[in-house]
């Protein structure tokens, strides 16, 4: 008799379940692949390309048609003029053709250009390749017969159609290391990198410490606790654009309330340019970061604090522990897990942060971080390739952080 053994491998039911799972996940996977992963890969490609902002419009042949002379009776002569040019100053365009429908009753009296032919009312030219900066006119003398006037339409009504292909800088096989050479050139890169690290480290730790303080405050029962908790979340919930501009207005060197206040209090003589001078601008940007993101830390820490069992504190009271001892030996160790998670998450997010600094200082006065530098290179300097090269550096840094993330966090919280 055969002995009963547990089934091996995957049965049909399990396979069906897996299929269903993947089909439920498919929309998510597809959209993430298209919008996140594909651009991530593209950024590596672009970073090796000599591409500027102007190259985004590919070179195209441009044609203009014009009728010179105004035919009024059968037998009148006129000239049809086509003006063809290459929109690019550098790239040639291959296989350029022009086709147009002529009105009826038009006969050619002069010579047709070599490349062109007229069959019935269909006018067609094949110009082959045209050079960069190409710009030429073709004039064709014609005569208008009775059929044209019977037709009675507008002779310029049908638009000429041109075709032609040009090599696109993005898809051709020219690569360059110039982008990387450019961003690593000189001491600027290391300055930007240093600013980024300073901003990230102090911003993260500051937001955590202030958040911890706020959480300890609100971890007691009193009337109005809910109101205060809601209030302290305001900086995080409000749109960044609103609060950033408010800070800029508040700290304006000439008409800002804070400067006015400081002057009235006799702290300073003239107005301080908070967001315009080194190193104050960097400090202010960090302070803004702490102000805006302490609510996030405090929310998580408060949730963890309220989950701590009260018995432990009672036991500590029996043993005669003082309030600070209870904080140091009980609360803090219990919070260590959430604190380290918050630190890593906030560290990465602060590293990625673009909006805040961009809106506050625009990356001036020694506050240019890597992410702001991506924008500066790509759009202010109009060199997309260099911007992409900085983006690659940002991405590689994050890859390193993610390794840390997996090493520590997944063990900590079992994600």
Q: Distance between CA 75 and CA 72 in Å, rounded?
A: 9
What is the closest distance, in whole angstroms, from the C-beta atom of residue 298 to other proteins in the complex? 9
- Which 55-84 positions form the footprint of other proteins (CB under 8 A)? 56-58
Nearer to other proteins by C-beta: 313 or 349? 349
- Which 18-57 positions form the footprint of other proteins (CB under 8 A)? 18, 20-22, 24-25, 27-28, 31-32, 34-36, 38-40, 42-43, 46, 56-57
Whose CA is closest to 273, among 286, 292, 289, 255?
255
Q: Residue 4: CA atoms inside 13 Å, Cβ hemisphere, count? A: 0
Binding of residue 374 to other proteins (CB under 8 A):
yes
Query: Exactly one of 124, 313, 405, 408 binds other proteins (CB under 8 A); which one?
Result: 405
Site pattern 218..257 for other proteins (x: CB under 8 A): ----------x-xxxxxx-xxxxxxx-xxx-xx-x--xxx
Coil, helix or strand at residue 37: helix
Binding of residue 303 to other proteins (CB under 8 A):
no
Binding of residue 8 to other proteins (CB under 8 A):
no
- Which 141-170 positions form the footprint of other proteins (CB under 8 A)? 170
CB count within 10 Å of CB 117 equals 12
- Which 271-300 positions form the footprint of other proteins (CB under 8 A)? 291
DSSP 186: S
List of long-range contacts for 244-251, beta carbons under 8 Å, 24+ apart: 244/288, 244/355, 244/356, 244/359, 244/360, 245/359, 247/288, 247/360, 248/275, 248/359, 248/360, 251/275, 251/284
Q: What letters, b where the CB count within 10 A reaches 16 and e where it falls short, cover 217-233?
A: ebbeeeeeeeeebeebe
Nearer to other proteins by C-beta: 151 or 234? 234
Element (H, E) at 47: helix 38-47
Nearer to other proteins by C-beta: 18 or 77? 18
Query: Exactly one of 120, 270, 310, 323 binds other proteins (CB under 8 A); which one?
Result: 323
Size of the site for other proteins (CB under 8 A): 86
Nearer to other proteins by C-beta: 149 or 408? 408
Nearer to other proteins by C-beta: 18 or 336? 18
What is the closest distance, in whole angstroms, from the C-beta atom of residue 244 to other proteins in the complex? 9
**CA-CA distances (angstroms) from residue 40 to 43, 320, 382?**
5, 57, 20
Q: Distance between CA 291 and CA 295 in Å, rounded?
A: 8
What is the closest distance, in whole angstroms, from the C-beta atom of residue 275 to other proteins in the complex? 13
Binding of residue 302 to other proteins (CB under 8 A):
no
Q: Distance between CA 242 and CA 240 in Å, rounded?
A: 5
What is the closest distance, in whole angstroms, from the C-beta atom of residue 295 to other proteins in the complex? 9
Query: Exactly one of 78, 142, 212, 394 binds other proteins (CB under 8 A); which one?
Result: 394
Query: Exactly one of 124, 134, 193, 401 binds other proteins (CB under 8 A); which one?
Result: 401
Binding of residue 381 to other proteins (CB under 8 A):
no
Binding part of the chain for other proteins, among 112-120, 150-158, 159-167, 372-380 by CB under 8 A, reads 372-380
Binding of residue 404 to other proteins (CB under 8 A):
no
- Which 331-360 positions form the footprint of other proteins (CB under 8 A)? 348-349, 351-352, 354-355, 359
Element (H, E) at 128: strand 122-130
Q: Distance between CA 332 and CA 249 in Å, rounded?
A: 39
* Contacts of 253 by beta carbon, 8 Å cutoff, 6+ apart: 259, 271, 272, 273, 274, 276
What is the closest distance, in whole angstroms, from the C-beta atom of residue 133 to other proteins in the complex? 23
Q: Distance between CA 360 and CA 343 in Å, rounded?
A: 24
Whose CA is closest to 74, among 142, 120, 139?
142
Query: Exactly one of 2, 73, 89, 264 binds other proteins (CB under 8 A); which one?
Result: 264
């Amino acid at each position: 008799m055969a002995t009963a053994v547990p089934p091996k491998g995957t049965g049909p039911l399990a396979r069906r379940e897996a299929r269903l799972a993947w089909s439920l996940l498919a929309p998510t996977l597809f959209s993430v692949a298209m919008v996140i992963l594909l651009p991530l890969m593209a950024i590596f490609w672009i970073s090796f390309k000599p591409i500027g902002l102007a190259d985004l419009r590919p070179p195209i042949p441009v044609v203009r048609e014009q009728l010179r002379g105004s035919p009024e009776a059968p037998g009148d002569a006129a000239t049809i003029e086509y003006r063809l040019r290459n929109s690019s100053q550098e790239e040639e365009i291959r296989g350029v053709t022009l086709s147009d429908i002529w009105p009826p009753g038009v006969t050619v009296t002069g010579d047709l250009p070599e490349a062109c032919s007229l069959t019935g009312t269909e006018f067609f030219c094949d110009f082959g390749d045209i050079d960069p900066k190409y710009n030429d006119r073709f004039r064709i003398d014609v005569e208008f017969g009775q059929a044209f006037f019977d037709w009675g339409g507008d002779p310029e009504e049908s638009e000429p159609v041109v075709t032609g292909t040009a090599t696109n800088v993005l898809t051709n096989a020219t690569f360059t290391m110039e982008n990387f050479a450019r961003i690593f050139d000189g001491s600027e890169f290391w300055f930007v990198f240093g600013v980024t690290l300073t901003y990230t480290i102090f911003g993260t730790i500051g937001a955590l410490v202030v958040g911890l303080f706020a959480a300890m405050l609100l971890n007691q029962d009193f009337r109005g606790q809910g109101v205060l908790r809601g209030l302290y979340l305001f900086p995080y919930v409000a749109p960044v654009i609103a609060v950033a501009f408010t800070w800029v207005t508040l700290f304006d060197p000439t008409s800002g309330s804070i400067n006015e206040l400081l002057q009235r209090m006799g702290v300073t003589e003239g107005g301080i340019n908070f967001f315009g001078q080194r190193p104050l601008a960097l400090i202010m940007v960090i302070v803004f970061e702490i102000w805006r993101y302490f609510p996030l830390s405090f929310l998580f820490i408060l949730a963890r604090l309220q989950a701590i069992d009260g018995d432990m504190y009672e036991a500590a009271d029996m043993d005669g522990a003082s309030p600070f001892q209870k904080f140091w030996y009980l609360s803090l160790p219990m919070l260590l897990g959430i604190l380290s998670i918050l630190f890593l998450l906030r560290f990465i997010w602060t590293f990625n942060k673009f909006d805040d600094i961009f809106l506050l200082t625009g990356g001036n006065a020694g506050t240019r971080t890597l992410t702001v530098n991506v924008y500066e290179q790509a759009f202010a300097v109009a060199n997309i390739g260099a911007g992409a090269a900085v983006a690659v550096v940002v991405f590689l840094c994050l890859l390193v952080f993610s390794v840390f993330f997996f090493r520590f966090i997944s063990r900590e919280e079992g994600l």
